[in-house]
Amino acid sequence: MPTTARLFAALFFAAIGWFTTDLIKPLLPAGTQVGLFAPVAAGFGVLVGWFFTGKRLFAGEGGGLGIGLTSSALLVFWVLLTFSGTEMLKLSLRKAYDGPVEALQDMFRIAVDYLALAAIPSVIGTLVVAGMLGGWLTDQIAKRWS
């Protein structure tokens, strides 16, 4: 059911996803094609905000700060999973793996490499502070318009 809290959380976490990708793009190696990096991250922000943050805070299932922080972590998880999976598929089409288990193992190595690349204070701080702010604001909106 659409609620104001869900709508706000979806838009707020989409903005977090988009803004965070703008912080990460300069960290990527020169010549890296970013393609749909920002729109995909924003799309996952919409999904996390709508289905996780807004739903839980509208139902009163936790504190805003904690739910917001968890939402940021979920956003990072889904974006990492998507882009490491995409990279693994590109490599598998080039016959880089002997089998599917090796491909899945390499997918997690790729995700860890991406995470290490983005684990700088400005990115982590943005995700933590913006996630907590988004959770708190969504909680206030859920209480106000429920």
What is the domain partition of the chain in residue ranges?
A: 4-144
Handedness of CA 20, 26, 28, 31 (dihedral sign): positive
- pLDDT per position as a tens digit, 94-125: 988 999 999 999 999 999 999 999 999 999 99
pLDDT digits 0-9 by tens, 77-96? 999 999 999 999 999 999 88
What DSSP string describes 8-62?
Answer: HHHHHHHHHHHHHHHHHGGGSPTT---TTHHHHHHHHHHHHIIIIIIHHHHTT-S
- Mean pLDDT of all residues in 120-142: 95
